[in-house]
Amino acid sequence: MNLESKVLDKINIWLNGEYDEETKQTLRALIENNKTEELTDAFYKDLEFGTGGLRGIMGIGSNRVNKYTIGAATQGLSNYLKSQFPNQQIKVAIAHDNRNNAEFFAKVTADLFSANGIQVYFFDGLRPTPELSFALRELDCQSGIMLTASHNPKEYSGYKVYWNDGGQVVSPHDKGIITEVNKIDDISKIKFEGNPELIEMIGSEMDDRFIDQVLATSINPEIVKLEKDLKIVYSPIHGTGFRLVPRALKALGFENVTLVEEQCNISGDFPTVVYPNPEEKEALTMALNLAKKIDADLVMATDPDCDRVGIAIKNNEGDHILLNGNQTGTLLFNYLIDQWKVKGKLTGNEYIVKTIVTTNLIDKIAYENNVQCYNVLTGFKYIGEIMTNLEGKSTFIAGAEESYGYLIGDHVRDKDAVVACNTIAEMAAYYKHQGKSLYQTLHDIYTQYGLYLEDLLSLTKSGKKGADEIDELMRSYRSNPPQELGGNRIVCVKDYLASTETSLESGEVKAIDLPKSNVMQFLTKEGFVITARPSGTEPKIKYYISVHTALDKASDFVEKEAELHELINRMRTSLVN
């Protein structure tokens, strides 16, 4: 077989080490059948922590999610926790979603922590990711683990690591954990034999506390009572949202919530969808069909671990249309800031947080209302980090990322689709009570602040070969950045890996005060933004395109939107050619 030496070395370790016989038999079969590419992809590197933690395809190999890679991660994390919290009884919380093998991986993780003398709080069944973040803070834990692959296809699993503030790990802890994980170079160093005395099950009482905090974020509960019959269609897309979202909506006062029954079947096979991602129209097809049948006011669907939500609203013709993450985020931020102002809660010391690839319309809304808007790198962990740094100093209103993740309130340090669903429904009820739809409200925002349009271009490049192609693309952008895109001249280049912002007109170079990240941004003279970013969790390079124009009156929307779409199409053509 034509395998690289480092790949062959790792394969031999697995064949000759203390791995279970089933794993070895599977590996031998791959070798006998000359599965060179599959073996290379499985062993050419070790799984690394990206923006979402440890995530990958399930199977054998150092680059796959399995008992041993989960074990090495947990052992390394255990060792790191002991170094950071010496002479303490360390506590961790563990939860899992509906992924295939998620419960098994969660039990392996719990056993490993307990084998290392760490107290484990283990949820008695599947739970949404935000509840794990919440429980960690409630139980005063030093760390937490969520076994999930979020919205990835069914072949994937994942392992999200949280720190004692309830947020996903950031620097320097992410690098410290990786260092310790890399020291686990032999499975004999992994303590698989658990200590049941150190594992405590937690259940419904934590659900109650979490729901109470979600309800506490409501701004206009009295309006919900007046609009309690708002027609809502909800789908958990076979995931954990089924456990808490309907309950939270009912507790807030909504009495007309219709569930997509076929997608309330909790399954890691996601039988009714190709891709369990609320960003994909196909995943919401059943919900949209049901909404049309009952003439629903609002459609909401959450991803498997219930930290992201996609929505559909009715346009002026009564048809249900999907909103993208930027549009939903814009509506939420506008509603929250406006209502905080109405309620007299804005003192000048409030802030919101968004990522650098999330619409700048949100920045404009915040600026016009004297609310500080922080921009962070992609990954909600950076939003959580800002919240932790400002705790007790400034008041957090909300956080958002364009990939359908939102947080309202500071009860957790991660995106939370449970509280997002409640707030979106309340927002719809509020504007309905004002005689307006969310669609009309969005157009009002555009006429006040400008029409912003965003687009995402994802190019999938699988395996080692694909990873090499993505690396070469990013190198070329740094050595020879484009001078124009879609006919629009580039005037500024931001390199987040070099932490530099360079003016192509004056040559002036400024420092970027954010952690280093493999991201490039190109700004045009008109203020349009194009961002190139390799995904931290998928074999893709993503291009985020943001353009805008003035909208003097709502009746001009169709014409102006068409002009922006044409501009985006020209930019897309430039990027792929």
By DSSP bridging, strand 298-302 and strand 520-524 are unpaired
Residue for token pair 């739970």: 127
Residue 322, φ and ψ in degrees, nearest 5: -80, 140
Q: Answer for the pair 213, 411: CB distance below 8 angstroms, yes or no.
A: yes
Q: Which 3-state string (H, E, C) describes 216-248?
A: HCCCCHHHHHHCCCCCEEEECCCCCHHHHHHHH
3-class SS at 524?
strand
Catalytic position from the list 143, 150, 437, 546: 150
Q: Answer for the pair 380, 386: CB distance below 8 angstroms, yes or no.
A: no
Q: Is the dihedral of CA 67, 90, 124, 387 positive or negative?
A: negative
Distance in angstroms (rounded) separating the CA atoms of residues 132 and 130: 5
Q: What angle do CA 466, 468, 473 make, to 5 degrees?
A: 95
Among the listed residues 451, 453, 439, 233, the one whose alpha carbon sits nearest the alpha carbon of residue 317: 439
3-state helix, strand, coil in the chain (%, to 5): 40, 25, 35
The reply to whether 150 belongs to the active site is yes
- Integer distance in angstroms from the first to the last C-alpha of the chain? 36
Among the listed residues 393, 395, 396, 391, the one whose alpha carbon sits nearest the alpha carbon of residue 407: 396
Six-digit token string for 475: 């190198």
The region that residue 507 occupies, defined by phi over 0 for left and psi between -120 and 50 for alpha, beta otherwise, is left
Tally of residues, the chain: 577
Q: Is the dihedral of CA 248, 250, 253, 257 positive or negative?
A: positive
Q: What angle do CA 143, 378, 361 make, to 5 degrees?
A: 130
The region that residue 161 occupies, defined by phi over 0 for left and psi between -120 and 50 for alpha, beta otherwise, is beta
Query: DSSP labels for 258-316?
Result: EE-GGGGS--TT-TT-SS--TTSGGGGHHHHHHHHHHT-SEEEEE-TTSSBEEEEEE-T
Stated as kind and residue range, the H or E segment containing 517 is none
Instruction: Specify which residues 94 forms β-bridges with.
Output: 122, 145
Q: What is the DSSP letter of 484?
A: E
Among the listed residues 264, 367, 331, 326, the one whose alpha carbon sits nearest the alpha carbon of residue 529: 326
Evaluate the omega torsion of the peptide bond into residue 172 and state whether it is cis, within 30 degrees of 0.
yes
| Catalytic site positions | 150
